[in-house]
Amino acid sequence: MSRNIAQSERADVYTRITAEIIASIEAGAGVWRMPWHHNGTAPSRPTNVASAKRYRGINTLALWVAATAAGYPAGLWGTYRQWLAADAQVRKGERATTVVLWKEAAATANIADSSDEDASGRRRMFARAFSVFNVAQVDGYDPDPVAILPETERLAHAETFIANLGVETIVGGADAYDRPSTDTVHMPPFAQFRDAASFYGVHLHESGHATAAKHRLDRDLTGRFGSAAYAAEECTVEILSGLVLADLGIAHHPRPDHAAYIASWLEVLKDDPRAIFTAASKAPAGRRLDASPAAHACGTSRLRE
């Protein structure tokens, strides 16, 4: 009897988490930030040092390319003058990267005489190029201190659970991802995350991708979702992450950054009312995940059909 009650309560947690995730997306969560590099300076999220705003569009691509080519570990950028204002100095001989600022031409009192509109009455835009430098190209910059997540914050039962999934984890670098060609999950160091829940949420997400391998669950969503298969896969593993976190007692409510991250597949959910159920059924946790406290303690957590 008590076991049935426990299973019922667990199912209720799953339902609440899924409902809250959808509600958070509908309500409009804030801009998603990777929970590592929690000062917002990840190389893949180029940010301006003066405004603290992220670069957008073609500027993002240009700064990605420059950072990758030069091996810059952070994504903080600024003009020569902006670095000077931050009490930093661009080193002599450093090569700048060009970005473009688009602005709408200012309106004038006499529209007839204004060159700010074309013949169709549409507002005109003009572009201005700027030369920017990465934080790795300057001396004297003193960023705000970032709290380091201590090893004492690790959770033994979560570590045991992840270890028993049997997916090799390689720690290091600035990105988190699953690499199917080597059947490995790559994670930034634990210390770079803002909290333990963020670390385990990301680790479980990437491990969720790994379960799609042919020798595991052989999950292929192309037939069900076609061109939206990638979004559906992200939906599946994010649900997995939420469900397992709930079972592990780590996070019972989706954080705003989770909701913002999965906003990319909200259209899939809206177009197909059954999509959320399909994604949940494809998530390993939705296929009878043995995540009981006893299993964690004994190191026997496993996936079962």
- Whole-number pLDDT of residue 253: 60
Question: What would you measure as the largest C-alpha separation in the chain, in angstroms?
Answer: 82
What's the CA gap between 117 and 182, in Å, rounded?
55
Task: Give the span between the Cα atoms of 277 and 269, in whole angstroms.
Answer: 9
Question: Tokens 């991802």 — which residue?
Answer: 177
Best mean pLDDT range from 135-144, 149-158, 187-196: 149-158
Strand 76-79 relative to strand 47-48, pairing: parallel
Q: What is the mean pLDDT of residues 252-257?
A: 62
Share of the chain above pLDDT 70, in %: 64
- Name the residue with higher pLDDT: 206 or 112: 206
Q: Would you list the domain boundaries of the chain?
A: 2-35+148-303, 47-139
CB 226 within 8 A of CB 269: no
The DSSP 8-state label assigned to residue 284 in this structure reads: G
C-beta atoms surrounding 113 within 10 Å: 8
Per-residue pLDDT at 67: 86
Q: Taking the chain, what is the end-to-end CA distance rounded to the nearest angstrom?
A: 24
Mapped to the 3 state alphabet, what secondary structure does 81-107 carry? HHHHHCCCEECCCCCCEEEEEEEECCC
Confidence band of 16 (pLDDT split at 50, 70, 90): low
Higher pLDDT, 201 or 299: 201
Q: Does residue 126 surpass a pLDDT of 90?
A: no
Give the global pTM: 0.59
User: Of 18-32, 132-146, 175-189, which range is least confident?
Assistant: 18-32
Residue 297, pLDDT above cutoff 60 = no
In this predicted structure, the answer to whether residue 291 has a pLDDT above a threshold of 70 is no
> How far is the C-alpha of 105 from the C-alpha of 112, rounded, in Å?
15
Better-predicted residue by pLDDT, 65 or 253: 65
- pLDDT score for 223: 76
Q: What is the mean pLDDT of residues 201-217?
A: 91
Q: Provide the pLDDT for residue 38.
A: 65
The pLDDT score that the predictor gives to residue 24 is: 61
Query: pLDDT value at position 142?
Result: 84
Q: Is the pLDDT of residue 148 over 80?
A: yes
If pLDDT is split at 50, 70 and 90, which confidence band does 300 have? Answer: very low
Whether residue 272 has pLDDT greater than 90: no
Query: 178 and 210 in contact (C-beta within 8 Å)?
Result: yes
Which of the residue ranges 10-24, 185-199, 219-233 would you say has the lowest mean pLDDT? Answer: 10-24
- Between 301 and 71, the more confident residue is 71
* Residue scoring higher pLDDT (280 or 22): 280
Taking the CA atoms of residue 275, residue 277, residue 280 and residue 286 in that order, the dihedral angle to the nearest 10 degrees is -160
> pLDDT exceeding 90 applies to what percent of the chain?
29
pLDDT at position 72 is: 86
State residue 286's pLDDT score.
Answer: 41
- Averaged pLDDT, 225-249: 81
Higher per-residue pLDDT: 50 or 263: 50
Within its chain, how far is the Cα of 81 from the centroid?
31
What's the Cα-to-Cα distance from 47 to each of 91, 139, 155, 193, rounded to whole Å? 20, 18, 32, 19
Between 105 and 169, residue with greater pLDDT: 169
Question: Cα angle at 175 between 87 and 195, to 5 degrees?
Answer: 80
CA distance 265 to 232: 7
